[in-house]
Structure 1
Amino acid sequence: MRWFEIALVVLTLASGLIWLLDKLFLAKRRAARGGLLEDADEPVLVDYAKSFFPVLAAVLMLRSFVAEPFRIPSNSMMPTLLTGDFILVNKFSYGLRLPISNQKVVSIGEPQRGDVVVFKPPHHPEQDWIKRIIGLPGDTIAYHDHQLFLNGKPVTVQPIGVYQGIGNGAEMTGAEEMQEALPGRPHHVLERTDLFRTDGDGEWTVTPGHYFVMGDNRDNSEDSRYWGLLPESNLRGKAFLIWLNCEGWFCTGAFDASRVGTAIK
């Protein structure tokens, strides 16, 4: 959605500049020629600028500094988030950032372990991804044979049962759903315990200014196990609410009203 952000900024600045130029110069010239009816009329471009600038400015401010909507495009955060969930992201949880550049201008808070965050992955900076923060600066994270370790201690899990997926998530039917006791933020994860995989195994030390992120769908998530640590500067915000769920970009598929208003934990 970077193109939308760029377009919104450009249109806001352009309409505001046109309105300002008219107020400072053009309107006075028209008033001086008020005896000529045609010259006294307000140009259509100025009329549009005056009408749209307040709306564009309000949308830009809300989207950049308050909350921004995102759509979940994949199954990597199942069972917490499903493909087709439309979520809201708190843009000021970790500080105020400028649109487009994502440069932080005001520090407010720091990410906490277990937060579900939207970010720009280092290897795909034009995209927005969503994962859960597992490791904070200074932590040592290890993952071996479906077992997560935090600072040398295994993170315990409690089996819940066999997962039954629906819609785009049907591919995960049969996976084991478990509650993972991540310190400060217990949450559900999915694992294919019948699969033996070692491609995501390893041990990592989280350096200052970085975070280790993972998807809740452990066997179907491209995360820090594969591409490394997430720089703090790439964070976009903290996901906090599901406001809609429907499959298909224009909600042409199934609609799940039960997920509307669900808090993201």
Structure 2
Amino acid sequence: MTATAATTRPVPTEALDAPVHIGAVSLRVRDLPGLTAFYRDAIGLSLIGEGPGEAVLGVAGLPLVRLEAGAQAPSSAAGLFHLALLLPSRGDLANWLAHAARQRVPLEGASNHLVSEALYLSDPEGNGIEIYRDRSRPEWPRLDGGSIKMATERLDLEALLREADGRDYPGMPEGTAMGHVHLRVGDVAAAEAFYRDALGFEVMVHYPGASFMATGGYHHHIAANVWHSRGAGPRHADEAGLSRFELVARDDEAYAGLRRRMLAAGGTEAEGTPAIADPWGNRVVLRR
């Protein structure tokens, strides 16, 4: 299955119109051929490239998920809660849902978050996946004082399916992006100290046991929760699950500023690529 670029589609600018947004997410896996087939056939990403021990999948040549062979141990409590693929429109979300129904891809949840509509599932190795579409920024509800209001309400799947175009699914459309990454951490305050105080993200919303952080006024590029990981310690280098994720700087100014923050917080730079690990060993790399 390959994505088509025959029709120009709107880019989901709410997540990308920010000084820093999320790029590709890398997963360390046990069954590289099986996971590659899942992200290609069930999720609808295109296979962009593969080599010894690695497969890169994405849309229209843009890498979104990298799979790395070599997981030696199960994932610990900390790590990835889900990666979140952002589709350009509600119609695209409906088309993916219709594809999932035809292919019997099991869903684990479906939510109206007020700022977005989201479908949830896991890959065969238990890595969480969110597939969602954003409402436009003027539609986001606000609390007194102007902060964003989010909630977890029931999403009407039958109404969403009625917006599907009924055609065979060609794969995720051009304009699909990695909208955010949601992490399992041991302590929310420590996560905020790292991602907000050290790296410069802004806390946008609090849920009980979770924090949602972003740049540029987005509802969240990075989330961190303790729902199943309170008190968790650092992860091991050979664990299955999250290997690293990218922060993508919009311009030279944003890149230079975040690079300075990462290095000041104890990060390293190898071959021109700044990188740092959060308190749980979730590795973050910076690119333009």
TM-score > 0.5 by shorter chain: no
Rg larger in structure: 1
TM-score if structure 1 supplies the norm length?
A: 0.27
The one of the two structures with greater contact order (alpha-carbon pairs below 8 A, sep at least 6) is 2
Q: Point out the structure with the larger helix share.
A: 1
Q: Point out the structure with the larger strand share.
A: 2
